[in-house]
Amino acid sequence: MILSGWESVFFWIFSIAAILAGLLTVMARNAVHCALFLISSLVSVAALFILLGAEFIAGVQILVYVGGVMVLFLFVIMLVNVGAEEEGRAPIFNRPAQVTAALVFLALLAGILVIYAIPRGYQAMQKRDDQAMQQANAKRDVADSHLATAATGVSRISTQTEKVGMGLFTTASLPFEIASLLLLVAIIGSVMLARTLKQEVAADDVDQEVLDEISAASSKADES
């Protein structure tokens, strides 16, 4: 997989955008700004998915993450309003000792990964797979010759989405069903967690004893 021409230009644009937006997500003071920077980071990574030939995943990323999860995040940010952080009265990071320890550890991790582990591992993989890659490329060029050329002029419009759909409903059909069950549990769980006490009482989910205790405690708190 070696990109060339416009593909490499877009690769550098979107990867730098993803990293900068990720950094700003972690460093922005206002939580709404964090969410917006995270959205731009996710969109840039979706563009990288398209460069890698995974159009379906890029679409799912934008529809589910940006359209669903991040809108949910924005709703919750609006609900839990943190004025002190935005106005600069409260610190946004933990205590300096914790932050320094975390950053030293992560800088070490980043250095080892980026300078040593990934280049060495990729070199070894390339040495092993060089011949197989050429053979597979030649085979794929023949197989893909009937597909239309993409807008970049380098690659062809692929049938990846069809293959992913086939895979989801054949080899991965059991995990697919389990995922639907997981989503159902998540829906019910979040509804249960976010109920107020009033709603719980209305649904007859609270014992009378517990209710008396809570009302006694709250009246005591009101007095003091």
Query: What part of residues 134-173 is at the interface with another protein (CB under 8 A)?
Result: 135-137, 139-140, 160, 163-164, 167-168, 171-172
Q: How far apart are CA 215 and CA 195, in angstroms?
A: 18
Among the listed residues 87, 94, 124, 210, the single contact to another protein using CB under 8 A = 94
The site for another protein, by CB under 8 A, has a size of 90
Instruction: Give residues 12-31 in contact with another protein (rule: CB under 8 A).
Output: 12, 15, 18-19, 22-23, 25-26, 31
Q: Mark the segment that binds another protein (CB under 8 A) among 102-110, 145-153, 204-212, 215-223.
A: 102-110
- Of residues 146, 166, 164, 165, the one with CA closest to residue 156: 146
Find the shortest distance in angstroms from Cβ 126 to another protein. 8
Helices 31-51 and 70-79: crossing angle in degrees, nearest 10, is: 180
Q: How far apart are CA 205 and CA 146, in angstroms?
A: 63
Instruction: Give residues 110-129 in contact with another protein (rule: CB under 8 A).
Output: 110, 113-114, 118-119, 122, 125, 129
Instruction: Give residues 61-80 in contact with another protein (rule: CB under 8 A).
Output: 61, 64-65, 68-69, 72-73, 76-77, 79-80
Q: Specify burial of residue 17 (Cβ count, 10 A radius: 0-12, 13-18, 19+).
A: middle
Q: How far apart are CA 98 and CA 81, in angstroms?
A: 26
Q: Mark the segment that binds another protein (CB under 8 A) among 7-15, 145-153, 202-210, 214-222.
A: 7-15
Q: How far apart are CA 11 and CA 44, in angstroms?
A: 10
Degrees, nearest 5: CA angle 69-70-73: 95
Q: Mark the segment that binds another protein (CB under 8 A) among 34-42, 145-153, 206-214, 216-224.
A: 34-42
